[in-house]
Amino acid sequence: MIYDAPKLIPAGDQALVVELGDEIDAALNRRVHDLTHLVEEQRIRGVVDLTPTYRSLLVQYDATETSLGEISIAIRDLEDGPGTGSSDQPLVVHVPTLYGGAFGPDLEDIAECAGVPVAEAVNMHSSKQYRVYMMGFTPGFPYLGGLDERLATPRLETPRQKIPAGTVGIAESQTGIYPVASPGGWRLIGRTPLKLFDPSRESPSLLSAGDYLRFVPIDGEEEFKTIEDSVAAGTYETTMSVKQ
């Protein structure tokens, strides 16, 4: 459900949660990001950070420059106004991915549950243009919407203690990529040699909430290693295309 009017909920003494709905929905998420762009464009006094999620926007502000009341009025004015947010045509980030084997140990189980061959499961997963609904869990982790419902799979009952950086996983109706080595309970289907999070870059995260991406299957470990070496050397150029 998308609310007719946003719910404004104080979050501590210097933040406001703007709830726009109560479900995971593409139209609702677009509204969240439209509001994010509007707040950025208006440069509302005192706003120091914005965190969009599936259905809400966290607005953090400096209480020495503004107040909860002033921020609330500014947000309601934006929601009631004619603005439409970003007019940029979305780009799709291509993420080369090696599916299965040691890099994707759960792929065969997921294909079996879906009732399809492994190659068809890979095609089902890689043929989508996924929207980055939100970032979270660890720095640079993208929660992606648009997974084929036949691939939806419950999380592991016992999480793995360490999942390598770049690993692609599925949990319930979502898919995502582990940007750094960490524990996790998602089903693992592949790995990308791209570095999704690098604190030494000007923009540490390769992806941002509101972006789109597509997984591009690669042929084998040799191609994976070639791309990985290029990424490490700083010579790899990420491929992007206009969203269709």
Domain boundaries defined on the chain: 2-80, 91-242
Running DSSP on this structure, what letter comes out for residue 156? P
Q: Which amino acid is at 221?
A: E
Would you say 75 and 59 are in contact if contact means Cβ atoms under 8 Å apart?
A: yes
Residue-level pLDDT at 88: 60
Triad 104, 105, 108: Cα angle to 5°: 95
Model confidence at 209, pLDDT cuts 50, 70, 90, reads confident
Residue 226 has pLDDT above 90, yes or no: yes
Contacts of 242 (CB under 8 A, 6+ apart): 89, 90, 91, 92
Residue-level pLDDT at 153: 94
Helix (H) or strand (E) holding 85, with range, is none
Triad 227, 230, 231: Cα angle to 5°: 85
Of residues 20 and 136, which shows the higher confidence score? 20
Model confidence at 83, pLDDT cuts 50, 70, 90, reads low
Residue-level pLDDT at 241: 85
Residue 183 has pLDDT above 70, yes or no: yes
Q: CA torsion sign, 163 to 167 to 170 to 175?
A: positive
Computed on alpha carbons and rounded to an integer, the radius of gyration of the chain in Å comes to: 19
**Helix (H/G/I), strand (E/B), else coil: 94:** strand
59-75 per-position pLDDT tens digit = 999 999 999 999 999 99
Strands 212-217 and 91-99: parallel
Residue 149 has pLDDT above 60, yes or no: yes
Triad 19, 140, 244: Cα angle to 5°: 75
Residue-level pLDDT at 204: 92
Residue-level pLDDT at 117: 97
Helix (H) or strand (E) holding 131, with range, is strand 130-135
Residue 85 has pLDDT above 60, yes or no: no
Burial degree of 121 (CB within 10 A; 0-12, 13-18, 19+): buried
**Helix (H/G/I), strand (E/B), else coil: 132:** strand
What's the topology of domain 2-80?
A: Gyrase A; domain 2 (3.30.1360)
116-146 per-position pLDDT tens digit = 999 999 999 999 999 999 998 889 999 998 8
Contacts of 59 (CB under 8 A, 6+ apart): 15, 16, 17, 18, 39, 47, 49, 50, 71, 75
91-242 carries CATH number 2.40.100.10: yes
